[in-house]
């Protein structure tokens, strides 16, 4: 059984990773890739699907590797 603490941390990591990567990569997508608004919205949708679970899993792995 998964604990409530684990689920809360997983969800927090997922939301934080989504916002971090979206904010960090938006200037690149707009200025370098030169996406139009429709492409940008599609990219944010793709971010919303892929980044949260991957970011949360990476955070779990990083915490496990950091433990002494």
Whether the per-residue pLDDT at 26 is higher than 90: the answer is yes
What mean pLDDT do residues 41-58 have?
95
Whether the per-residue pLDDT at 31 is higher than 90: the answer is yes
DSSP code of residue 56: H
CA distances (Å), origin 49, targets 12, 17, 25, 52, 66: 15, 12, 16, 7, 27
Lookup result for tokens 């689920």: 7
Q: For the chain, what are the domain ranges?
A: 12-63
Mean pLDDT of the chain: 94
Encoded tokens for 4: 């409530």
């Amino acid at each position: 059984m998964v604990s409530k603490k684990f689920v809360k941390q997983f969800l927090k990591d997922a939301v934080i990773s989504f916002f971090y990567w979206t904010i960090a990569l938006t200037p690149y997508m707009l200025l370098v890739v030169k996406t139009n608004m429709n492409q940008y919205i599609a990219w944010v949708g793709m971010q919303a699907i892929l980044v949260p679970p991957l970011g949360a899993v990476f955070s779990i792995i990083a915490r496990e590797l950091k433990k002494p």
